[in-house]
Chain A
Amino acid sequence: VSLIHINILIAFTISLTGLLIYRSHLISALLCLEGITLSLFILAALTILNSHFTLASMIPIILLVFAAREAAIGLALLVIISNTYGTDYVQNFNLLQC
């Protein structure tokens, strides 16, 4: 409801559009993914601290764990792609390679 919430929601939406619309490099999608997780984390932490909902304060921590996991998998995929293609241009993805 408040302005801060709307601020963070806008940050989330911008990162989301950045994730879904990207030009040539896969790594920019990964970067936007990180942005999404970051904004979600801040939103969750602020709401919980604001409403003194102490019981749910482990949610941001768990979220962090999952974010780190995600980033690792994403980077692994990036490495594999860059091993096979040499770069991470998304034009390569419709070439028939396994």
Chain B
Amino acid sequence: MNLFTSSILLTLFMLTTPIMASSTNFYKSNKYQHYVKNMTLLAFIISLIPTTMFIHTNQETLISNWHWITIHTLKLSLSFKMDYFSLMFMPVALFITWSIMEFSIWYMHSDPNINQFFKYLLIFLITMLILTTANNLFQLFIGWEGVGIMSFLLIGWWFGRSDANTAALQAILYNRIGDIGFLLSMTWFLSNMNTWDLQQIFMLDQNSSNIPLMGLTLAAAGKSAQFGLHPWLPSAMEGPTPVSALLHSSTMVVAGIFLLIRFYPLMENNKPVQTMVLSLGALTTLFTAICALTQNDIKKIIAFSTSSQLGLMMVTIGLNQPHLAFLHICTHAFFKAMLFLCSGSIIHNLNNEQDIRKMGGLYKILPFTTTALITGCLALTGMPFLTGFYSKDLIIEAATSSYTNAWALLLTLIATSLTAIYSTRIISLTLLEQPRFPPLMSINETNPLLINPIKRLLIGSIFAGFILSNNMPPMTTPLMTMPLHLKLTALMMTILGFILAFEINTYSKNLKYPHPSNATNFSTLLGYFPTIMHRLPPHLVLTMSQKLATSMLDLTWTEAILPKTTAYIQLKASLLTSNQKGLIKLYFLSFLITMTLTLLSFNYLE
């Protein structure tokens, strides 16, 4: 009997306390924000207890407390599964959320609804934790929908701006398409395995698990912005920077990947679905890396970078390495959140300027942000022995030395070098050269509320990879031997990307800006995907439904087929065949005289 279950439940309960306090007067005071931040900090510290116990003794727990309902043979209860994945994810998520909350005290300082913002962030965190600790699919779905809703509310935070509302709606729509896949899997599990509990699903050995796994892949594609369902992620940058940092870099978008990781016992026996996930991930990572090359908004570049890394995580799942994907989730969260916080610092200091063509020369002005930005970009590209190295390099190694699809591998490698290219673009356009912003900006980074979160995440970006991979119990046999050229593949691709980017930057930075070529247009307009897909299918579907419902059914079938046709035919026929002059009285009179004469003559002829 140890503190395991108590700590977990305490963590989860502690996070709901500020929400319950929001109905009191305390909610309106200035101290609410610090209260929320401190609660998150305490939750982080307490959640370290079960994690340490897990690392030490590999103790996993299944907490099943409240039996909710039994429908026929389906028993639904409130159950939390604290295993490898959820125990390692909780401290990471809480740490990052704590840093982001401290940052957003500084960033959203002048917002009148700042307390509501913190409440939304907290509700988001709680639903994310529900998602990761869920033991049955119903609870997971509650968390899933919860993060979708909070994403909507937070993206549309500045709801007076029509772009923000459009982006929030777009996020909801794309997530909904993924939810169809999720519901399909839930129904399949319900009808074939009679359960929504993960334990029973993994225990029963089914022959073909194609349908539920494809449904889950669709759900992951919707939530984690894979190709085909990806445009909502760059549009979601309409929300404030803390929202982008929390939702769209670390926690929400990894929910889809997390779902697939949870189902790894099913995935490891199903080769076709693995191949599909691999291809989808490879396509996503390359496509979004291409789109990131020519964007001009710093947040969008980082959003595409997130999308590319999510594709990489999908590739890892497709290689049957769920634990590596999970490691990449945890490490990626650190440096991506830090990149977003640095961009938030730059944006706020330049008076809400987000276009990198109007930034420059911040190298000397914001030294700390510069440090963090460069470190984050290097960690992102997989610089040896920073955080990204421990997960990204392992992924590339596993990819190059496994019996897998060569095309997917090629795409992933190209995307790795593109990562280096757009990282260089960010660094050189925002930090180096001369300033391109208006000169009267008061730029400072002296506020500790800004510095401390970035400092913590910086330390995390440097050391977290090392700490995590040394403390995570290995669940698969790591790859020990490979040829030298395969080992150095990731490094060589990254160095290639850096060299290419620096070369092109150096020789062309003082030339005239050229007219955008076709390739540049393709990349900037996101591959024309939103342009086509947001106009054409809705137009087609709506026109088709209008033609079907109104024109065909209503006007034609119930109105024009019999009644109007009959009337029309009669009219035409009578017009054609009649050559009468309308002398009715004459006709009637002649009829009468004929009748009389006939009757009289027959009477007399008798």
Contacts and interface: CB of A to CB of B under 8 A. Distances in A.
Interface string B582-601: 11110011011001000000
A20 B589 contact: yes
7 contacts: A16-B592, A16-B595, A20-B589, A21-B592, A94-B582, A95-B582, A98-B575
Interface in B550-606: 575, 581-585, 588-589, 591-592, 595
B93 to A, nearest CB: 77
Interface in A76-95: 90, 93-95
A2 B591 CA distance: 28
Nearest to B581: A94
Contacts, number: 25
B588 A21 contact: yes
B575 A20 contact: no
Contacts of B588: 19-22, 29
B582 A21 contact: no
Nearest to B585: A90
B591 A20 contact: yes
Interface of A: 16-17, 19-22, 29, 90, 93-95, 98
A95 B68 CA distance: 84
B51 to A, nearest CB: 86
Contact of A93 (B575, B583, B592, B595): B583
Interface residues of B, number: 11
A94 B575 contact: no
Contacts of B575: 98
Contact of B592 (A20, A29, A90, A94): A20
Contacts of B585: 21-22, 90
Interface of B: 575, 581-585, 588-589, 591-592, 595
B564 to A, nearest CB: 16
Contacts of A20: 588-589, 591-592
A20 B592 CA distance: 6
A93 B584 CA distance: 8
A84 B424 CA distance: 83
A38 to B, nearest CB: 20
B579 to A, nearest CB: 12
A17 B594 CA distance: 12
Contacts of B583: 93-94
A93 B589 contact: no
Contacts of B582: 93-95
Contacts of B581: 94
Contacts of B589: 20-21
A90 B585 CA distance: 8
Nearest to B596: A17
Contacts of A98: 575
A17 B592 contact: yes
B215 to A, nearest CB: 60
Contacts of A17: 592
Kindly name the residue among A17, A20, A93 whose own CB sees the greatest number of chain B CB atoms within 10 A: A20
Nearest to A23: B585
B118 to A, nearest CB: 72
